[in-house]
Amino acid sequence: MRVPPAKIHIPEEDRREILAHIDECLASGQLTLGKHGAAFEDAFAQTAGTKHAIAVSSGTSALEIIFRAIGVEGGEVVVPTNTFFATPAAVQHAGGIVRFAECDPATYAIDVDHARALINDRTRAVVVVHIGGLITPRIGELQKMCADAGIPLIEDAAHAHGSTLNGKPAGSFGLAAAFSFYPTKVITSGEGGMISTSDDRINEEARIYRDQGKAGFTSNFHTRLGNNWRLSEPHAIIGRYQLKRLPEFIAARQRIAKIYDRGLASIGVTPLSMPAGASSNYYKYIAMPPVGVDRIALKKRLRETFDVGLSGEVYEAPCHLQPVFGPLEAGTLPVAEELCARHICLPVSAVMTDDDAAYVVDSLGKALAEERVAVEA
Ligand SMILES: Cc1ncc(COP(=O)(O)O)c(C=O)c1O
């Protein structure tokens, strides 16, 4: 594809060193919960600006561990409907009841006022998801709202490695945060996840939960209903090398985003604007095409005529309309429903060139014009 939706980049020099370290692990037999996992955790805690980081098997397990550690069983958790399936699913797996909140059109994050309206004496936590890598500038209000209600704010930071708001990194705003290293994320470990927290109790609980609920590594006393949520050493090695690349990957993504910002106005496409103080890692570049554009047809035309792949939406449909969660009736959370139905995500990767980005803008302009002609004909 001339411009694929995403491109996973593990530079050759890193691949050589990763393989050498994996070979050492294979020779020594130290394949899980070893020095690489510990080093990955230390380095990640620095990136997230927290006292602790706990490496786990996925972003999904990071979320479930957090919800189990804070104890949501039998209580409610306010979750934005505009998120990935795993966010509300993790609440339910941990025994909680999900209350879906509306979406703020300025940031695609949780609508603060609606979240506030959903809080009651059964509420155990509120979740904010940094959609596309953007930290909502209203996060201070969320922090205050949660503090007033005596409940924790939890970050689903699966999209937001290295993103900041006024210099403060994603992962350091709530009691705990969950990150994902799934291959399409800004950095990957193959599969993997990380919990960041400055809370000593959450740190201890998370380490127990990720290793079958055992009180200690060598203990056979299971004190919590944990699981095998460990991260293997080979995954940790890949993650460590990717983490070193994070600043350079983000800079490359921000450079591409600037080209899109400049180019889109002339073709009638409105980018999600960056609030003052926000620095996104541009996991996704979110934009809104003119009203009435058929997204499926537009994506097909871009792919087939221009060899450009738009990346997956965040999200194609809000969680409250997913059959597994109820679903609530269409029209219940109309802002999220409309944003989810209409927005597009332009391709971004650490290895895209400026020419690629210019080609995407040009192709999008042409595809939109062709779509209009096709509709009018
Ligand atoms: C917002 C969000 N939360 C959670 C997850 C789950 O992460 P993982 O795929 O590593 O389990 C993802 C991953 O796609 C995500 O985008």
Q: Contacts for 74-77 with beta carbons within 8 Å, 24 or more apart?
A: 75/122, 75/123, 75/124, 76/118, 76/120, 76/122, 76/123, 76/124, 77/123, 77/124, 77/125, 77/126, 77/127
CATH superfamily of 245-376: Aspartate Aminotransferase, domain 1 (3.90.1150.10)
Virtual CA dihedral for 137, 162, 182, 287, nearest 10 degrees? 50
- Write out the two tokens for 79: 């979750």
- 3-state secondary structure (DSSP) of residue 44: helix
Question: Would you list the domain boundaries of the chain?
Answer: 12-241, 245-376
Report the separation in Å between the CA atom of 221 and the middle of ligand 1, taken as the mean of its atom positions: 31
pTM: 0.98
Query: What is the Å distance from ligand 1's center to 59 Cα?
Result: 5
> Ligand 1 pocket by C-beta < 6 Å: which residues?
58-60, 83-84, 86-87, 129, 156, 158-159, 180, 182, 193
The bridge status of strand 176-180 relative to strand 153-156 is parallel
Looking at 3.30.56.10, 3.40.640.10, 3.40.630.30, 3.90.550.10, the CATH number of the domain 12-241 comes to 3.40.640.10
The DSSP letter of residue 134 is P
What is the residue-level pLDDT of the chain in tens, covering all 377 positions? 999 999 999 999 999 999 999 999 999 999 999 999 999 999 999 999 999 999 999 999 999 999 999 999 999 999 999 999 999 999 999 999 999 999 999 999 999 999 999 999 999 999 999 999 999 999 999 999 999 999 999 999 999 999 999 999 999 999 999 999 999 999 999 999 999 999 999 999 999 999 999 998 888 999 999 999 999 999 999 999 999 999 999 999 999 999 999 999 899 999 999 999 999 999 999 999 999 999 999 999 999 999 999 999 999 999 999 999 988 889 999 999 999 999 999 999 999 999 999 999 999 999 999 998 887 87
Q: What is the 185 CA–ligand 1 centroid distance (Å)?
A: 9
Closest atom of ligand 1 to 180 CA is: 10
